[in-house]
Amino acid sequence: MKSFRASAGAGEIDPEVAWKAVASRDAEARFFYGVMTTGVYCRPSCSSRRPLRKNVRFYATPDEAERDGLRACLRCDPKAERRADPAAAEIQDAVRFLEEHSGEAPSLGELARRSGLSAAYFQKTFRRLVGLSPKQYLDSVRMRKLKAGLAAGKDVTETIYASGYGSASRVYERAGSELGMTPAQYRAGGRGVSITYAEVASPLGRMMLGATSRGLCFLQFGESDADLLSKLRKEYPLAGLEPMAEPRHPDFDGWIEALNGYLAGIRTSLDLPLDVRGTAFQMRVWKYLQSIPYGEARSYSEVAAGIGEPKAVRAVATACARNTVGVLIPCHRVIRSNGELGGYRWGLERKRVLIDTERAGRPA
């Protein structure tokens, strides 16, 4: 059973995508939702009355829901598929073992022997039932414990080791993609992150760039500077925002020159530093988008297949829509399977211009 996760690397469920699946009773979504007021958890496709969003939590597995004290819905029977699998009990035990021993690093062979299964069968069955490989699930357990500890205001170093990480450097290496900031900043709710911004003219209209000390975190187009500043505040509500001082840093002027050359079709590549935050699923999608050659396009289903999640087409579309750095993460290169443009947060006219400009400048 493939769990509908925001990230196979981080083990999180994208709540926005998940809620849409519940609202539409998506039969292909593979996660579970619990209704805290009734104490029941269900499949997204359950025909029961739709609960209020504020009362809902999402879970990757029945075990997670039951650890929160929820019981299985009698109508949609969310545990039925797991009970039908002959190795379900062994995989459940392995999941429980990883939850309780997140500080250890058991090999695939050790886990398989503990379950009495061959390594190949254990790996395949674990991924089918849980939606992640054993290593990915262990990573998800550690990151979940880390986030919970930091959100509770616990000491950063103590929380890192208590979550099962063997070193602090490992956490800081993943901070940008998993937390979107350093652990200390995450614990503070994002406060202390400083973003400087500037609005400039571009071939596609007004463009705003926002940057942290690590790179660009915001590149969007709009109809006015006020509109763009509003979007920046919405994306980073707890960060400190400051207009870029004049004269601007030479590196920034170099970024603008490169971007405008790209938008005009003079340049065919960009290599600017990024500091983006997102779920690990979004990061996987964004990384794939950056691999699409200049002047080419992929369908949403091709992107989903390309990241190894062929049924996650809707989640791919959502990840494209959540991109905060237009052009640098080229979500404009993703179109519908029938050739239609699909959506684009900065307008289909801009998307068409970008696609046509790239195709015209594509190397023969």
What's the 3-state SS for 276-340?
A: CCCCHHHHHHHHHHHHCCCCCCEEHHHHHHHCCCCCCHHHHHHHHHCCCECCCCCHHHEECCCCC
Residue 141 neighbours by CB distance under 10 Å = 19
The active-site residue, picked from 73, 76, 320, 331, is 331
User: For this structure, is 42 an active site residue?
Assistant: yes
Rounded to the nearest 5°, which phi and psi values hold at 50? Answer: -65, 130
In our burial notation (b when 16+ CB lie closer than 10 A, e otherwise), range 270-299 reads: bebebbbbbbbbbbbbbebbeebebbebbb
The active-site residue, picked from 42, 46, 73, 320, is 42
Q: Which two tokens stand for residue 11?
A: 């083990």
**CA-wise closest residue to 104 among 166, 14, 184:** 166
Residue 43 neighbours by CB distance under 10 Å = 26
User: For this structure, is 331 an active site residue?
Assistant: yes
By annotation, the residues acting in catalysis are 42, 331
